[in-house]
Chain A
Amino acid sequence: MKRRIFLKGSMAAGAIAVAAGAGLLAPARVLAATWPKAAFTAKSEADALNAFFGSADAQDSGDVTLKAPLQAENGAVVPIKVSTSLADVEAIAVVVAKNPSPFVTSLQMAAGSAGGMFSARIKMGQTSPVNCYVKAGGKVYKTSQEIKVTVGGCGG
Chain B
Amino acid sequence: MSLTRREFMRLLAAASAAGMAVNGRSASAQATDYDVPTFGNLSLLHFTDCHAQLMPVHFREPNFNIGIGKAFGQPPHVVGERFLEYFSIPAGSANAYAYTCLDFEVAAQKYGKVGGFAHLATLVKRLRASRPNSLLLDGGDTWQGSATSLWTKGQDMVDACKLLGVDIMTGHWEFTYGMDRVREIIERELPPIEFLAQNIMLTEDASFDGKPAFDEDSGRVFKPYSMREMNGIPVAIIGQAFPYTTLANPRYMIEDWSFGIRDEQCQAMVDEVRAKGAQVVVVLSHNGMDVDLKMATRVTGIDVILGGHTHDGIPKPSVISNAGGRTLVVNSGSNSKFLSVMDLDVRDGRVADYRFRLLPIFANLLPADPEMAMLIEGAREPFKQQLDTVLATTETTLYRRGNFSGTFDQVIVDALIEVRGADIAFSPGFRWGTSVLPGDPITVERLMDQTGITYAKSTLVEMSGETIKLVLEDIADNLFNADPYYQMGGDMVRVGGLRYAIDPTAPIGERLSALELNGKPLDPSHIYKVAGWASVNPQPDELPDIWDVVGEYLRDRKVIRDVVANVPRVKGISNNPGYLAL
Binding site for B on A (CB under 8 A): 2-4, 7-8, 11, 69-71, 73-74, 79, 127, 146, 148, 150-156
Contact = CB atoms under 8 A, between A and B. Distances in A.
A3 B471 contact: no
A73 B247 contact: yes
Nearest to B217: A3
A153 B486 contact: no
Contact of A155 (B247, B260, B477): B247
A155 B246 contact: no
B463 to A, nearest CB: 11
Given A7-B207, A73-B247, A146-B486, 11 more contacts: A3-B219, A11-B208, A71-B486, A71-B488, A151-B475, A152-B247, A153-B248, A153-B493, A153-B536, A154-B491, A155-B242
Contacts of B210: 4
Contacts of A153: 248, 428, 475, 493, 534-536
A150 B490 contact: no
A127 B260 CA distance: 17
A74 B489 CA distance: 19
Contacts of A8: 208
B349 to A, nearest CB: 34
B387 to A, nearest CB: 23
Interface stretch (B64-72, B83-91, B429-437, B569-577): B429-437
A154 B207 contact: no
A5 B247 CA distance: 29
A155 B493 CA distance: 10
Given A3-B216, A70-B486, A71-B486, A155 B249 contact: yes
B158 to A, nearest CB: 20
Interface SS of chain A: helix, strand, loop or mixed?
loop
B478 A150 contact: yes
Interface SS of chain B: helix, strand, loop or mixed?
loop
Interface of B: 141, 172-173, 204, 207-208, 210, 216-219, 242, 244-249, 251, 258-261, 309, 428-432, 471, 474-475, 477-478, 485-486, 488-491, 493, 508, 534-536
A114 to B, nearest CB: 24
Contacts of A155: 242, 244-245, 247-249, 478, 488-490
Given A4-B207, A154-B490, A156-B309, A71 B216 contact: no
Nearest to B453: A156
Contacts of A11: 208
Top 5 nearest A-B pairs (CB, nearest first) are A155-B248, A155-B490, A155-B488, A154-B490, A154-B428
Contact of B261 (A70, A74, A154): A70
Nearest to B145: A156
Given A3-B219, A73-B259, A156 B430 contact: yes
A2 to B, nearest CB: 5
From B216, B471, B486, residue with most partner A Cβ within 10 Å:
B486
Contacts of B490: 154-156
Contacts of B485: 70
Contacts of B432: 156
B255 to A, nearest CB: 10
Contacts, number: 91
A9 B486 CA distance: 35
Contacts of A154: 248, 428-430, 475, 478, 488, 490-491, 493, 534
B478 to A, nearest CB: 6
Contacts of A127: 508
A8 to B, nearest CB: 6
B216 A156 contact: no
A69 B471 contact: no
A7 B478 CA distance: 34
B261 A4 contact: no
Nearest to A149: B474
Nearest to A69: B260
A38 B74 CA distance: 51
A31 B247 CA distance: 39
B141 A156 contact: yes
B141 to A, nearest CB: 7
B247 A150 contact: yes
B527 to A, nearest CB: 18
A2 B219 CA distance: 9
Nearest to B246: A73
Contact of B216 (A4, A69, A73, A74): A4
Nearest to A121: B204
Nearest to B479: A154
Given A156-B141, A156-B172, A150 B217 contact: no
B242 A156 contact: yes
A22 B240 CA distance: 32
Contacts of A148: 477, 486
Contacts of B475: 151, 153-154
Contacts of A156: 141, 172-173, 242, 248-249, 309, 430-432, 489-490
Nearest to A153: B536
Contacts of B204: 7, 79
Contacts of A151: 471, 474-475
